[in-house]
């Protein structure tokens, strides 16, 4: 990376286009989405972005209180919402502290935050006659819970503090349970929720917890303020002109703790030590210390006279509100540098980048999801990913002539020792048959390898097309079918076949069974006669299979999703007639605009929300991630009027022809009409 | 609900008692539960025990001449067909191809004409004998353990209020809906016809469903009984 520069246009275009899968700090849906919206063009902007979207975490097993689109309250685990998509729920329940009631809120995203140490939070509601114990919630030490004095991180809670707990979900009754302590549960998968303003909380395991740390003013998150100001959609304003030189690099938005320190130094005459106390108060979210520092700040402002008391109060109140998301600039810049480095590597050594991420995908909590996302994004970079084949395979993901191949051990069912045993068996047989695996015939594979590896491994390999080569000319379906027939033979029959295979040189299983029947006929007795009839029956079924053994594309896709995590050989849309399409997903991803665009694509993800305001209030609209053979796009939208017409066709996995136009505002694809294909 | 596929199937048999009859043909179609498109076809004749005495000794009904006549099969032809113990595993493999995500719970929904009374007991019997069988539930484990669609029941629901309808036999329905009776009582032709009728009804159901007012239908306290 010695030749890396921080002004590489290709690298910055990755951020601009939101192609940041695998890029440090910005690989989640949320990170990708904000990266695209902001389109950072330098480290300063990247650092601010990373600071602004920094989240907290709750364990994936937490049950979150949601409301279905039909209005029913239900509990869903964060892990489920993440894997099923937010369409699995209608809305999420938030607690409106001011009105002391539950309100429906819109989930924008559920973000996987990786493995982190989590702590079980224990609290008891002593006011209730039953003394309800709350001990299910597991969250990171820095996650915030609601207390009577506001949001407090778990690590800053003291035994005896009160935390908001739900004692009646239906009626939305909150009780202030007494915090009894917490205990480490080790590392677990953690998630957070991004949701619409103004209620930035949700109910997890009957406790009111904060969501992603995104501050909000004027109904917009600070990230959105930053983005709108950067793109000149909003005017950059300051509470006082004196703040301009401190905040101008961050679009007038306070992003870093250091900016708060500089404001205190400039307006209130704080020295370095005093401003560091303010930083600590911000960093530790220490309410008492903040209050004490606030008094000093206002007094200091009076002395310097740069701003009057009212403005001083307003500025400090603004700093105090911002304290919950302000981030240390040195951390953020370090993250930004790391983020840029990973993006640079992705831009300059794309194949190696994807290979590396795919290689390590097994270390992820959901390896198949990771593989699916990486393979989908690889298409945008024209990188081909293929299934392993007996002609060309390795143990793990590998690259050959610019094509990335799955390794045998990257296939579900073959990840552990089974994968090793298959590789070992192939190596051993290459010696025994005195020819490389790529030259094996189907009968070599069926009779010789079929006897060496277990049934699940063999059928898995057959199902992903491992044995389908120019030499074998066997379809995946037929390979599974013939293997099952071969496996139904008795051990002595299989042994006879193995022993005679070299001499007889059978080219089909039917020929093999013909000889086996003759051999069995030489034996006398009822059992032998029964076996002859059985093998003759199987021979009949080999010659006239009761179902079609050609490879149906939909079945290939099903099998590849099952064993590899996503379709590799075919895209789901390839099972439908796409001739009416005039645009591909890649065209849209690359910025194609227009108003008569038709895209034939598969619905990969469907998020449905209830519209809150306007003439369509109360109606449903959907956000879609659609995918064709070129790539997937996650910014397709269908508004209530159109959605009502096509409701029955809108489900994940369906292939449809989407017709519509691109939004002039944000480039999203607005669907007007849908045709079944 | 419709994320499972549908397996429309039919047995031709040598007698009428589903608990003792010998299947002579098994055919099935797999329909995509969402868009109702055809995904796969299975068809195989099955060799029963031809010798009546041996069939009785094995606990099965002997082949009835009337049944053979209806299904257009002869004993000689059936003697050349593969036996049940070889055909059944192929049928199981075929159905399992359509388990959504490979999970038993998302196995195809069994469908057919009069399957509840006739074909499902045969499926249960064969699953118990050859697998897959759920010992705890004492039931087949090949199809969806919960749902089933019997087109005869479906037809009854739609026509029970019509005094002009005297019969809902498969042949009566064929006649009413304009389906040829040629090749009827061939399992494959029967499942094709049944599937067409089922698709017609499902499409009608889906169109009507949007206008059904069933949410909170009794919330006003006005019950029928």
Q: Is the pLDDT of residue A186 over 80?
A: no
Predicted local confidence at residue A52, as pLDDT = 84
Residues A35-84 pLDDT 10s:
988 999 999 999 999 888 755 577 778 888 988 877 888 888 887 787 66
Q: Cα separation of A83 and A480, whole Å?
A: 30
Pick from A430, A513, A435, A508: nearest CA to A474: A508
Lowest mean pLDDT among A221-230, A288-297, A362-371, A404-413: A362-371
The pLDDT value recorded for residue A515 is 94
Which pLDDT score, from 0 to 100, does residue A604 have? 84
SS3 A180: strand
**pLDDT reported for residue A85:** 66
The answer to whether B210 contacts A647, with C-beta atoms less than 8 Å apart, is yes
More confident residue, A588 or A183: A588
> Which residues in chain B have Cβ-Cβ distances shorter than 8 Å to A552?
39-40
Whose CA is closest to B16, among B74, B71, B88? B71
Question: Which whole number is the average pLDDT over A19-38?
Answer: 84
pLDDT at A527: 74
Look over chain B and give the mean of its residue pLDDT values, rounded to a whole number: 93
**Of the ranges A109-123, A285-299, A634-648, which one carries the lowest mean pLDDT score?**
A109-123
A552/B39 touch (CB, cutoff 8 Å), yes or no: yes
Cβ <8 Å between B34 and A488: no
pLDDT score for B45: 96
Taking contacts as CB-CB distances below 8 angstroms, the residues of chain B near A555 are 97
Q: Where do the domains of chain B lie, and which CATH numbers do they carry?
A: 6-209 (3.30.420.10)
Residue A497, pLDDT above cutoff 60: yes
Residue A330: how many other CB atoms lie within 10 Å: 12
Find the closest chain B residue to A459 by CA distance: B93
Instruction: Please say if the pLDDT value at position B78 is more than 90.
Output: yes
A562 to B102: CB separation less than 8 angstroms, yes or no: yes
Percent residues over pLDDT 90 in chain A: 40
Stronger pLDDT, A218 or A613, i.e. the higher one: A613
Cβ-nearest to A540 among B41, B82, B97: B82
Helix (H), strand (E) at residue A166: strand A162-168
All domains of chain A, ordered by start, with CATH? Answer: 1-54+328-348 (1.10.150.700), 58-212 (2.170.16.10), 235-326 (no CATH), 366-543 (no CATH), 575-676 (2.40.50.140)
| B201 has pLDDT over 60 | yes
CB contact under 8 A, A484 and B93: yes
Inform me whether the C-beta atom of residue B106 falls under 8 Å from chain A C-beta atoms.
no
What's the Cα-to-Cα distance from B108 to each of A246, A481, A638, B10, B145, rounded to whole Å?
65, 20, 31, 15, 9
Note the pLDDT tens digit of each residue in B57-76: 999 999 999 999 988 899 99
Interchain pair A488, B89: CB under 8 A: yes
To 5 degrees, how large is the angle CA A640–CA A646–CA A648?
Answer: 115
Q: What is the pLDDT of residue A620?
A: 87
Give tens-digit pLDDT for A296-354.
Answer: 999 999 999 898 888 899 888 888 877 767 788 998 999 999 999 999 999 999 999 99
Mean pLDDT confidence for A615-624? 85
Q: What is the pTM of this model?
A: 0.75
Quick one: which of A260, A257, A263, A267 has its CA closest to A326? A257
Predicted ipTM?
A: 0.90
Q: What is the pLDDT of residue A367?
A: 78
Q: What percent of chain B has pLDDT over 70?
A: 99
pLDDT in tens, A358-378: 999 887 656 777 888 899 889
Q: Which residue has the tokens 């404001």?
A: A263
Residue of A nearest to B28 (CA): A547
- Those residues with Cβ within 8 angstroms of residue B140's Cβ, 6 or more apart along the chain or in another chain: B120, B123, B124, B127, B128, B132, B133, B134
pLDDT at B2 over 70: no
Nearest by CB to B41, from A538, A547, A555: name it.
Answer: A547
What is the SS3 assignment for B150? strand
User: What is the model's pLDDT at position B4?
Assistant: 87
Residue A139 pLDDT grade (very low, low, confident, very high; cuts 50, 70, 90): confident
**pLDDT of amino acid A56:** 56
Mutate to test the interface with B, among A547, A562, A563, A648 (most CBs of B within 10 A): A547
pLDDT exceeds 90 at position A174: no
Q: Of residues B99 and A524, which shows the higher confidence score? A: B99
Q: Which of A520-529, B18-27, B87-96 has the lowest mean pLDDT?
A: A520-529
Residue A213 has pLDDT above 70, yes or no: no
Are A546 and B44 inside 8 Å of each other by CB?
yes
More confident residue, A486 or A278: A486
Whole-number average pLDDT of chain A: 86
What is the C-alpha radius of gyration for chain B, rounded to an integer number of angstroms? Answer: 19
pLDDT of residue A218: 55
According to the model, what pLDDT value does residue A568 have? 92
């Amino acid at each position: 990376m010695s030749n890396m520069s921080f002004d590489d246009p290709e690298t910055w275009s990755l951020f601009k286009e939101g192609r940041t899968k695998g890029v440090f700090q910005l690989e989640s849906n949320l990170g990708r989405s904000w990266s695209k919206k902001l389109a950072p063009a330098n480290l300063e902007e990247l650092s601010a972005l990373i600071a602004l979207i920094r989240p907290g975490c709750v364990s994936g097993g937490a049950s979150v209180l949601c409301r279905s689109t039909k209005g029913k309250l239900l509990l869903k685990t964060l892990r489920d919402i993440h894997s099923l998509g937010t369409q699995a729920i209608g809305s999420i329940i938030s607690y409106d502290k001011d009105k002391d009631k539950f309100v429906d809120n819109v989930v924008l995203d559920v973000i996987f935050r990786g493995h982190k140490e989590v702590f079980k939070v224990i609290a008891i509601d002593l006011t209730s006659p039953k003394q309800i114990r709350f001990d299910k919630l597991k969250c990171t030490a820095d996650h915030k819970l609601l207390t009577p004095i506001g949001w407090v991180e778990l690590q800053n809670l003291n035994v005896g503090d009160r935390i908001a707990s739900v004692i009646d979900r239906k009626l939305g009754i909150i009780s202030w349970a007494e915090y009894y302590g917490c205990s480490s549960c080790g590392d677990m998968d953690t998630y957070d929720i991004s949701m619409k303003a103004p209620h930035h909380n949700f109910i997890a395991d009957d406790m009111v917890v904060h969501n992603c740390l995104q501050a909000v003013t004027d109904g917009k998150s600070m990230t959105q303020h930053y983005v709108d100001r950067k793109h000149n959609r909003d005017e950059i304003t300051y509470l006082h002109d004196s703040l301009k030189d401190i905040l101008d690099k961050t679009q007038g938005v306070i992003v870093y703790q250091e900016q708060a320190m500089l404001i205190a130094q400039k307006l209130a005459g704080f020295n370095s030590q005093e401003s560091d106390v303010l930083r600590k108060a911000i960093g530790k979210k220490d309410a008492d210390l903040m209050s004490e520092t606030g008094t000093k700040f206002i007094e200091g402002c009076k002395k310097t006279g740069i701003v009057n008391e009212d403005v001083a109060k307003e500025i400090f109140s603004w700093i105090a509100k911002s304290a919950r998301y302000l981030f240390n600039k040195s951390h953020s810049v370090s993250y930004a540098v790391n983020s840029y480095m990973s993006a640079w590597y992705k831009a300059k050594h794309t194949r190696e980048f994807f290979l590396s991420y795919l290689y390590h995908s097994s270390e992820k909590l959901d390896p198949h999801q990771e593989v699916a996302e990486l393979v989908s994004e690889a298409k945008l970079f024209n990188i081909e990913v293929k299934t392993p084949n007996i002609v060309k395979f390795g143990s793990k993901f590998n690259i050959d002539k610019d094509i990335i191949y799955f390794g045998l051990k990257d296939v579900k069912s073959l990840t552990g020792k089974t994968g090793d045993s298959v590789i070992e068996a192939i190596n051993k047989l290459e010696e025994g048959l005195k020819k490389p695996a790529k030259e094996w015939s189907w009968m070599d594979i069926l009779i010789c390898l079929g006897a060496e590896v277990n049934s699940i491994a063999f059928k898995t390999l057959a199902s992903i097309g491992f044995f389908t080569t120019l030499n074998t000319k066997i379809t995946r379906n037929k390979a599974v079918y013939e293997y099952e027939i071969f496996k139904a033979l008795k051990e002595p029959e299989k042994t006879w076949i193995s022993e005679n295979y070299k001499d007889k040189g059978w080219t089909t299983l039917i020929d093999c069974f013909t000889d086996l029947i003759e051999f069995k006929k030489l034996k006398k007795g009822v059992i032998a006669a029964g076996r002859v009839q059985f093998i003759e029956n199987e021979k009949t079924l080999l010659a006239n299979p009761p179902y079609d053994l050609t490879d149906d594309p939909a079945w290939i896709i099903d099998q590849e999703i099952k064993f590899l995590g996503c379709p590799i050989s075919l895209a789901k849309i390839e099972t439908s007639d796409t001739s009416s399409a005039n645009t591909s997903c890649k065209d849209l991803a690359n910025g194609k605009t227009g108003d008569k665009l038709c895209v034939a694509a598969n619905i990969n993800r469907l998020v449905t929300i209830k519209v809150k305001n306007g003439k369509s209030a109360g109606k449903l609209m959907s956000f879609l991630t659609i995918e064709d053979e070129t790539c997937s796009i996650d910014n397709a939208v269908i508004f209530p009027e159109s959605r009502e017409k096509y409701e029955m066709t809108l489900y994940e996995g369906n292939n449809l022809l989407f017709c519509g136009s691109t939004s002039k505002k944000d480039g999203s694809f607005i669907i007007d009409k849908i045709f079944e294909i | 609900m419709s994320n499972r596929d549908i397996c429309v199937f039919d047995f031709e048999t040598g007698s009428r008692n589903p608990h003792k009859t010998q299947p002579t043909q098994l055919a099935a179609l797999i329909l995509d539960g969402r868009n109702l498109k055809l995904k796969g076809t299975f068809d195989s004749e099955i060799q029963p025990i031809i010798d009546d005495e041996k069939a009785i000794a094995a606990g099965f009904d002997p082949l009835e001449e009337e049944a053979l006549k209806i299904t257009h099969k002869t004993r000689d032809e059936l003697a050349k067909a593969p036996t049940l113990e070889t055909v059944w595993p192929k049928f199981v493999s075929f159905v399992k191809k359509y388990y959504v995500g490979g999970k038993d719970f998302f196995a195809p929904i069994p469908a057919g004409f009069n399957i509840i009374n006739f074909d499902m007991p045969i499926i249960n019997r064969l699953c118990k004998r050859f697998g897959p069988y759920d010992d705890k539930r004492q039931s087949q484990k090949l199809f969806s353990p919960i749902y089933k669609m019997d087109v005869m029941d479906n037809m009854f629901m739609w026509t029970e209020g019509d005094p002009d309808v005297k019969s809902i036999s498969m042949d009566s329905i064929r006649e009413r809906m304009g389906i040829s009776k040629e090749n009827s009582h061939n399992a494959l032709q029967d499942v094709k016809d049944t599937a067409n009728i089922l698709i017609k009804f499902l499409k009608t159901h889906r169109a009507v469903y949007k206008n059904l007012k069933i949410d909170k239908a009794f919330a006003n306290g006005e019950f029928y009984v």
